Chains A and B, each alone.
Chain A
């Protein structure tokens, strides 16, 4: 409970994001983007205080998700997609990703704990759903959600 709150509220300072941004952009210029440096940057972004950063991070995670075949890696990208969405208060999206993880790994306590916390926040904030919360980011993420749902059906 407390731990998951910490995780959700943990913030990366702008300087650190900038540092990773520089590394990533240099790599991009030199066509040397790897899953590793992309993920490091994405992970930084989803923990930014700036919503625009979180959205960019979610986009990178989606690209990573689409381009990997490793189940382990997919799981990690889903988890951080959930985290990013939760931080944007887009709880329904977050829950979809978490349910996808739990479908594959029912015993994954990290996903379970995050799900509990997201559910708790939804209740606390009287969450009213995507009908109102829809934004560019939600549309952007349609594809990844579909992928998560595809896993659920597998």
Chain B
């Protein structure tokens, strides 16, 4: 998955990944950006980022994914990253009931701190550990439907459905742009058209100064 140059895409979508500690948020991100499973991943410090360019309906879209720490200590810290997210991946662990029970708290945060059009995708991770399951698919599916969330069970370990979750979210966001329900001019839509010279911070320009590898060496665990 070689990158095709930094500006070869039509939009940037900002995502956040939230959920309890140890449900596999960083591993999902790593699996998505690197197509590898990272065992023994240290707890995330605060937030980290990952990016990948995907294609939806023939449009190249750059996903800028903010992976948040699940530890309570960081709750206030990570809340400041919800703003301006076009997509929120809310993750629980199918083998730990408590992580599922906490979803309503995460959902409240996600709803109150993002904009009304933010696409929220519920992910039941560790699908490979079916034998230790504590939350049934049907129950979570019902919860998702009641709360108007997209839903999939994934395995960051085997990669099952990981792509689908990230890409379905983008598809839904793209659809919201197409049908006009997502206003791109709104300050915090979480979607930026292809970057021009006026960006909020000078990051865009510094990415092309030639001093670093332009490849895939992303930072996720």
Binding site for B on A (CB under 8 A): 1-7, 9-12, 16, 20, 35-37, 39-40, 43, 72-73, 75-76, 79-80, 105, 107-110, 113, 120, 123-124
Contacts and interface: CB of A to CB of B under 8 A. Distances in A.
Contacts of A1: 207, 212-213, 217-219
A4 B219 contact: yes
B212 A7 contact: no
A114 to B, nearest CB: 9
B22 to A, nearest CB: 13
A75 to B, nearest CB: 7
B76 A40 contact: yes
Contact of A36 (B50, B76, B203, B221): B76
Nearest to B207: A2
A110 B211 contact: no
Given A72-B43, A107-B40, A3 B73 contact: no
Contact of B46 (A76, A120, A124): A76
Given A9-B201, A105-B42, A16 B219 contact: no
B51 interface: yes
Contacts of B46: 43, 76, 79-80
Contacts of B50: 3
Interface of B: 40, 42-51, 71-74, 76-77, 80, 201-203, 206-207, 211-213, 217-221
B84 to A, nearest CB: 12
A62 B49 CA distance: 26
Nearest to A42: B77
Given A2-B49, A6-B49, A72-B43, 20 more contacts: A3-B48, A3-B50, A6-B201, A7-B47, A9-B202, A39-B77, A43-B77, A73-B73, A76-B46, A79-B45, A79-B46, A80-B45, A105-B42, A107-B40, A107-B42, A109-B219, A110-B45, A113-B219, A120-B212, A123-B211
Contacts of B40: 107
Nearest to A105: B42
A105 B45 CA distance: 12
Nearest to B214: A1
Nearest to A83: B46
A3 B219 contact: yes
- Which of A2, A35, A73 has most B Cβ within 10 Å? A2
A58 to B, nearest CB: 16
Contacts of A75: 45
A110 B201 contact: no
25 contacts: A1-B213, A1-B217, A2-B51, A2-B203, A2-B207, A3-B49, A3-B51, A4-B49, A5-B207, A6-B49, A6-B201, A9-B201, A9-B202, A37-B76, A43-B46, A72-B43, A72-B71, A76-B74, A79-B46, A80-B46, A107-B40, A108-B42, A109-B221, A110-B45, A110-B48
